[in-house]
Amino acid sequence: MHETSFAFTRRVSAALEPRDEAPSDWRWGLPRLEGRLATLRELEPADGAHLLAILATPEVMRFLSPPPQSLERFTGFIETTRIERHAGRYAGFAVVPHGVGHPVGVVQLRQLEPNFRTAEWGIALGAEWWGRGLFLDAAKQVLEFAFNGLGVERLEARVATGNARGHRAVEKLGAVAEGLLRQSLLVADGTRHDQVLWSWLGDEWRRARESAAEGQSWVH
């Protein structure tokens, strides 16, 4: 399994928070991110039926916070992501493999510090798509957007200790393990899991990209 912890937020802001600076373009609509295997585009209300069917399964929910358990609630979650995007606090993408007409996973970026200086990501894919390279393909597009599109300085990911493939994937992407978060993940069956906190720093990520451009591999 490649999932990193994903928070299915239900929070809806009473009002959009004022910001001093002019809104950046992404607040009015997320860009399409084109990878080698998949396109990442903004979540749409019509995605709810597909995503509910593939994400609300025991395999996927094993290391995730519980997703909405009805189509109405999942559609409400998607509507909330669009409100939060307009407020400049959240970016939610659907993962659509090339040649497939519907999403097979979700990616989120949510701010932990004002103006996205520090952010957290989460990725969830349907079990049928594990082991096909889709996680790494989508994750590279998300890292690019986070650091160059949102101006993130520090990006965090939380991975359950039992999720060995998830740990290998984020390490391959250059993340650094920082510590153990004890009993920090509550899953659908009511049990709690420890998580490892991983992070990327914008300056380190850019230096790695520059090294790659000079012919050195940044994925090890």
Condensed to tens digits (0 to 9), the pLDDT of residues 126-145 reads 999 999 999 999 999 999 99
Rounded distance between C-alpha atoms, residue 206 and residue 159, angstroms? 23
Between 18 and 106, the higher pLDDT residue: 106
Asked if residue 184 is part of any domain, the answer here is: no
Q: Is the pLDDT of residue 217 over 80?
A: no
How far is residue 160 CA from its own chain's centroid?
15
pLDDT at position 215 is: 67
Q: 145: closest CA among 53, 25, 15? A: 25
Q: What is the extent of the structural domain holding 53?
A: 25-152
CATH number at residue 118: 3.40.630.30
Sheet holding 154-160, edge to edge: 33-34, 38-42, 90-97, 105-111, 118-125, 154-160, 192-201, 176-186
Q: Is the pLDDT of residue 9 over 60?
A: no
Asked if residue 141 is part of any domain, the answer here is: yes
In the chain, how many domains are there?
1
DSSP 35-67: -SSEEEEE--GGGHHHHHHHHSSHHHHTTSPPP
pLDDT at position 210 is: 84
Residue pointed to by tokens 């995605």: 47
Percent pLDDT > 90 in the chain is 72
Contact assessment for residue 152 and residue 202, using Cβ atoms and an 8 Å cutoff: yes
Asked if residue 185 is part of any domain, the answer here is: no
Instruction: Tell me the average pLDDT across 110-117.
Output: 95
Residue type at position 98 = H
Q: Helices 71-86 & 48-55, crossing angle to 10 degrees?
A: 110
Instruction: Tell me the average pLDDT across 5-25.
Output: 47
Asked if residue 220 is part of any domain, the answer here is: no
Q: How many Cβ atoms are within 10 Å of 43's Cβ, its own excluded?
A: 24
Asked if residue 175 is part of any domain, the answer here is: no
Condensed to tens digits (0 to 9), the pLDDT of residues 150-203 reads 999 999 999 999 999 999 999 999 999 999 999 999 988 889 999 999 999 999
Asked if residue 179 is part of any domain, the answer here is: no
Condensed to tens digits (0 to 9), the pLDDT of residues 89-108 reads 999 999 999 999 899 999 99
Rounded distance between C-alpha atoms, residue 23 and residue 192, angstroms? 39
pLDDT at position 12 is: 37
Could you tell me which residues are beta bridge partners of residue 124? 106
Instruction: Tell me the average pLDDT across 77-83.
Output: 95
pLDDT at position 19 is: 41
List, in sequence order, the alpha helices (H) in 5-163.
48-55, 58-61, 71-86, 134-144
Q: Taking all residues of the chain, what is their mean pLDDT, rounded to a whole number? A: 87
Residue type at position 181 = L
3-state secondary structure of 91: strand
155: left (phi over 0), alpha (psi -120 to 50) or beta: beta
Asked if residue 164 is part of any domain, the answer here is: no
Asked if residue 183 is part of any domain, the answer here is: no
- pLDDT tier at 21, thresholds 50, 70, 90: very low
Q: How many Å from the N-terminal Cα to the C-terminal Cα in the chain?
A: 19
Instruction: Tell me the average pLDDT across 5-21.
Output: 45
